[in-house]
A and B are shown apart, each in its own frame.
Chain A
Amino acid sequence: MKWLFKFDKDKWQKRQRQRQMQKNLRSMESIRKIKRELILFFKRNHEFFHVERCIEDAAGDPIAIQKMFDSIPVMVRDMMSGNESFQLAATARVSFLLSTENPPIDVVIQSGVVPHFVRFLYEQYGFQHKLYSVSALYAIGKGSLEQAVAVIKHGAIPMFIRLLCCSEECYQLKELVAAALGSLANQSPDFRDYVLQFGTLTPLLSLLDNHLEPPMLHEKITLLRACSNTLAIFCQGNPAPSFNQIRSALPILRRLIHLNPPVGVIGDVFEDACLCLSYLSNGSAEQIQALIDADVCARLVMLLGGFFSDGKIVEHVLRTVGNIFKGVDSQIQILINNGVFFCFNAILMHGSNSSVLGKTCSAIPTLTARGRNQMQKIMDAHIIPSLLYLSQSDNYDVEVRWDAACALSNAARRGSNEQIRFLVNQGCIGPLCDHILCPDRKTSILCLKGLKSVLKASEIMHSTRNLYTLIITDFDGFGKVEKLQSDPDIGEMAMKLLMKYGV
């Protein structure tokens, strides 16, 4: 009785019996209320909860895409609303549209949502918000220069950097951010410098640095690839970026070119790193010295010794080597000490990739241009017979023969009389004559100049009889030179040569 205050016996007894039931009923009712509201919530926010499926269904369906395209105004409204699920669904759709074949970049920019994409990168928004927004900004940044300006103008870069620095792993998001930064920097050297000026390089490098340890999960590797690709973009361009701004990349690059095995996506990262080095090496002796100090040379030369199917890595390395050949002698000597010629020879003798062979041939003139001292080292390394062989071999692209011929004629042009004698004794007059009528003007000119140099040396060495004219005649050299007389550029040189040495 005392549980109740008001006295009503009948009511009380009834209530006592019903109390349990009532309590259970109330508990069910509160569950029902929650469940009903939950179902309504899901239905009302259907677009959001099903956005990924909608997008999946629309992909490749032009009608669905067009329909989505038509509802851009609705999406814009949704993005500007305070309802996060609608924002998200709309952002996802817009970013999907931007990823299609004909992205409606201008429509999107004009609708004024770019600042909202940037806004969604702030901390308070969820991962999905950020992901779709970055993806949209990435797509816009890949557009025309004017379109890319819209991304920069609304302050996306500092937000991108914050996302790169964020302590959570979120590989996928960071990968997109890195790619977006790369696409902006890729617009022009001005864009590149603008992006770099925010200090973008440091977080990019630490991302690379922090993700090189195993286990190499797939998402980790693709993140690395995006970073290395963007890093390569940062390193390239004309005018080149200020070396001081990017030299901090060297230690990471050294690590990257030690990745093993350089296949698949890792191979791409590796290749990017080699590309970066080729850009970084393209500069002053100090710049080259920085590379040497970063201790990359031994590894680079070693890479020349291996054979990679696509040859891209070797090509980049060859470019780097070529760049270092432009440095001072001591720098070149480091490559030689590491066996660069041995590798060259190996490539020239056993290589199968025409592009690699061509690049290798092309690296040699750089060195021959450095003076007879360097030329002698080439000769001592038995590279000339390889070049001779290549210049006449039918096993490769015709360009390879031309490149080999150029290398030979360059040597002939720069060499001392003794060295020319050596070259002639090795048999290099034949190739020079063979390629004098080369459709490639550069090769043609070089061969003409090479012949001229050989004839000049012979004149000095053989005071009585110009022995080499005989050899040239054997190869119908003069006959071919004759045909060059009408050439507007080198016709005169050909004519003079005929007049002086012609038989």
Chain B
Amino acid sequence: MEVTQVLLNAQSIDGAVRKNAEESLKHFQEQNLTGFLLLLSGELVSEEKPVETRKLSGLILKNALDAKDQQRKVELVQRWLSLDGNAKSQIKAGLLKTLSSPVSDARSTASQVIAKVAGIELPHKQWPELVGSLLSNVHQLPVHAKQATLETLGYLCEEVSPDVIDQDQVNKILTAVVQGMSASEGNADVRLAATRALYNALGFAQANFSNDMERDYLMRVVCEATLSPEVRIRQAAFECLVSISSTYYEKLAPYIQDIFNITAKAVREDEEPVALQAIEFWSSICDEEIDILEEYGGDFTGDSDIPCFYFIKQAIPALVPMLLETLLKQEEDQDQDEGAWNIAMAGGTCLGLVARTVGDDIVPLVVPFIEENITKQDWRQREAATYAFGSILEGPSPTKLIPLVNVALNFMLSALTKDPNSHVKDTTAWTLGRIFEFLHGSAVDSPIITQANCQQIVVVLLQSMKDTPNVAEKACGALYFLAQGYEEVGPSSPLTPFFQEIVQSLLTVTHREDARESRLRTAAYETLNEVVRCSTDETAPLVLQLVPVIIMELHNTVEGQKLSSDEREKQSELQGLLCGCLQVIIQKLGSSESTKYLFLQYADQIMGLFLSVFACRSATVHEEAMLAIGALAYATGPDFVKYMPEFYRYLEMGLQNFEEYQVCAVTVGVVGDICRALEEKVVPYCDGIMTQLLKNLSSNQLHRSVKPPIFSCFGDIALAVGEYFEKYLMWAMSALQSAAELSTHTTGDDELIEYINTLRNGILEAYSGIFQGFKNSPKTQLLIPYAPHILQFLDGIYMEKDMDDVVMKTAIGVLGDLADTLGSHAASLIQQSVSSKDFLNECLSSEDVMIKESAEWAKLAISRAISV
């Protein structure tokens, strides 16, 4: 095969040629993978070949090593590891050789491929000479090779985890990188590559950051790089600083003053990409301190691993004025651009974080700026003042803020309708939303919204919904929080008199021509849902009137005409909004018997529409419709059975779709809803459901987040069908048992431990459901053989001492369920378990009411089991 020509053809503008070339590449890859990869690496390394084919062959190589899909990735890794060693050596040698190619695209491609190979091989202790040979390159080769090698080191650090490379090699890598960054390095490309490499290598530098001298040195080099004449180096250096601020927060004290000076200069004088990173540094420090202070505020007073250095508190006299300055640097029309991001926005964001970090202290620093600018002629000043005000509404105490808000509210309301500048109106509406979000609601002692101004607020917001899309969207947002604040207001809401008008206005917004393309329509539905959710019984008849309106809207979306894929996407999105809205309404009306009864007259019609929504797609089910069906099942109860014959296939389709794991997870949840609604009437559908659930569990493609809900779902099914679950018992128990074994012990980061606890909870819920489902049935003895393992699981997770409160409550409940259902059959087993003693006692003396309650029940169940 003339590979160069094929690769060129694969990039042809002629579709037929391209397709043909792609197919022959694919064919060759399937015929002889090793030969194919060798050929590609040969193409990449060859200086005679055109740059396009070298790049493409590198890209194909890279794709042969890694994929986004987790399952595919595992396959590719296995495939690479099983390839012939000689061929691999040849490929790797070619890659390394390419690093010194004069063609920059070839070098760059090779760096990425090397990193991918390293990502596979280093964890398996293969290619041990890689780091050494790269490092030797750095010291010898021409400038362009040096740059490529540093780039490779950077990718390498990104690709492999720190524990794969030993400290000695880390030291060498860092030394090489830092040397490349230092001012003495004459070549800017090398410095840039080194600085970017350091960014990735920072995670490897734990030991080095603990050593004062090494840290001083590293910090000096980074700070120096922020002063480089080359803007990309300065930006990369600031990115390093941002990364250091979160990774090594506790080491920053000696440098913080210098860093402030550097960042202040950059914010005021440097180009925007650099200035944005300089601001990001302070945002990142805020994030750190907010986390630490939150932990301080929690149960473990002063028990945080990292102490708070109060950098922000000390810096605000200088930091806040600097940030306020940035607010005045708005771009024209930034309010129209949904993706806009600039200094002013970054500065406002940082100001908000500072407010959350220091609380009340920020107020006197910002108020003069607001007062000075809010009435100025220049819209920039008015907008900056408003933005500053809006930014500091979260953090300071209500006592401090409410007097300000009381003064400002009228001004804001009038600005929202009268200010000539759309940008100012946008920010004003946003600020009103923040006022309602943080200072309005049952938790705030002195209300800022009174009978006197409530009507005015509603009128102004409804009027603003007719403004430009961006202003209208923010007005919807403000209304959202206005409604939310009245969530727990009691039987009568101040919004009741305006309810009809609000709903009408929101529906009008959803029909605006310009709402379709922007976020406005979503915002309007979101607000409509919140208004409905927080409404009181007084307005229940009006909510009921809304049902046929939304039904009609949804009906319009399923009217069959042929749609382009883009239109189909839009249709699906709108259906999502409408199904979501119906769900909120179903839940609202379903929550009281009288309104539920009235609502149910629409149930058939709604269910019919949901099925039509499903029918709009062939490959997968509509998530929002699926979820809304879950809500409908609670409203209809056992009557839902009449929809099952038609609905079942979509249910099955949702369960089968584990590629889109959210769809699968949502469907699993709905299975639970249906079990609770139908109880034993779900039996005819259980074979199919259980088969699919078990199949999903046994697939290694299933996203892990779906497993816990599947296990909980076992419990739901068992509770619904009782002893009929016998059919699936063996399979379910075996799946539970292997999951239980895997989740007894935890190692890993917080995220993994959190996941393991979720998984344990799912498993335990399944056990509870199965035990209670079988209780009082003659078939309880079928469960006896599983008792030892379940008790072992309980003992195991207890000894591990890393259960969260939820798991603890569920686990002690399972102990009780086991005793309750098996009674004297399990008495001696229970008495032998650690759970029935230490664990139970620990739960009995828990401060968590739920745990204690569960434990008391378990204690009783055990004593009953033992006493007979």
A interface residues (Cβ-Cβ under 8 A, vs B): 1-3, 5-7, 9, 16-17, 19-21, 23-25, 27-29, 31-32, 35-36, 39-40, 43-44, 46, 71, 73-74, 77-78, 81-83, 86
Contact = CB atoms under 8 A, between A and B. Distances in A.
Nearest to A3: B477
Nearest to B426: A2
Interface string B750-784: 00000000000000010011001101100000000
A35 B676 contact: yes
B813 A40 contact: yes
A231 to B, nearest CB: 42
Contacts of B627: 21, 24-25, 28
A23 B530 CA distance: 10
Given A20-B522, A23-B526, A73-B867, 19 more contacts: A1-B340, A2-B427, A5-B283, A5-B352, A20-B525, A21-B576, A24-B580, A24-B583, A27-B584, A28-B669, A31-B587, A36-B676, A36-B765, A39-B719, A43-B772, A44-B820, A44-B857, A78-B860, A81-B859
A36 B716 contact: yes
Interface of B: 283, 338-341, 345-346, 348-349, 352-353, 387, 390, 427, 430, 477, 519, 522, 525-526, 529, 573, 576-577, 580, 583-584, 587, 623-624, 627-628, 630-631, 634, 666, 669, 672-673, 676, 712, 715-716, 719, 765, 768-769, 772-773, 775-776, 813, 816-817, 820, 856-857, 859-861, 863-864, 867-868
Contacts of B676: 32, 35-36, 39
Contacts of A24: 529, 580, 583-584, 624, 627-628
A86 B519 contact: no
Contact of A44 (B522, B526, B817, B868): B817
B346 A7 contact: yes
B712 A36 contact: yes
A51 to B, nearest CB: 13
B31 to A, nearest CB: 38
11 contacts: A1-B340, A21-B576, A25-B666, A29-B669, A35-B676, A43-B719, A44-B817, A71-B868, A74-B864, A81-B863, A86-B860
Contact of B776 (A16, A46, A71): A46
Contact of A1 (B345, B669, B813, B820): B345
Nearest to A83: B860
Contacts of B623: 21
Nearest to B584: A24
B385 to A, nearest CB: 15
A83 B863 contact: no
Contact of A7 (B341, B580, B715): B341
B341 A31 contact: no
Nearest to B579: A24
B664 to A, nearest CB: 13
Contact of A77 (B712, B715, B856, B864): B864
Contacts of A9: 339, 341
Contacts of B631: 28, 31
Nearest to B817: A44
Given A9-B341, A16-B522, A77-B864, A36 B775 contact: no
Given A28-B631, A71-B868, A20 B340 contact: no
A5 B341 contact: no
A44 B862 CA distance: 13
A44 B772 contact: yes
B231 to A, nearest CB: 20
A260 to B, nearest CB: 45
A78 B390 CA distance: 59
B719 A35 contact: no
Contact of B580 (A2, A20, A46): A20
Nearest to B276: A7
Nearest to B861: A44
B573 A21 contact: no
Contacts of A32: 669, 672-673, 676
B856 A83 contact: yes
B531 to A, nearest CB: 14
Sorted nearest first, the 3 A-B pairs with minimum C-beta distance are A43-B772, A81-B860, A5-B349
B860 A20 contact: no
A5 to B, nearest CB: 5
B289 to A, nearest CB: 14
A17 B628 CA distance: 17
A40 B772 contact: yes
Contacts of B666: 25
Contacts of A29: 669
Contacts of A25: 627, 666, 669
Contacts of B338: 1
Contacts of A23: 526, 529
Contacts of B860: 77-78, 81, 83, 86
A362 to B, nearest CB: 61
A32 B676 CA distance: 9
B752 to A, nearest CB: 22
Contacts of B857: 44, 83
A74 B341 contact: no
A83 B352 CA distance: 50
A35 B349 contact: no
A40 B766 CA distance: 11
Contacts of A83: 856-857, 860
Nearest to A35: B676
Contacts of B525: 20
B488 to A, nearest CB: 15
A346 B101 CA distance: 141
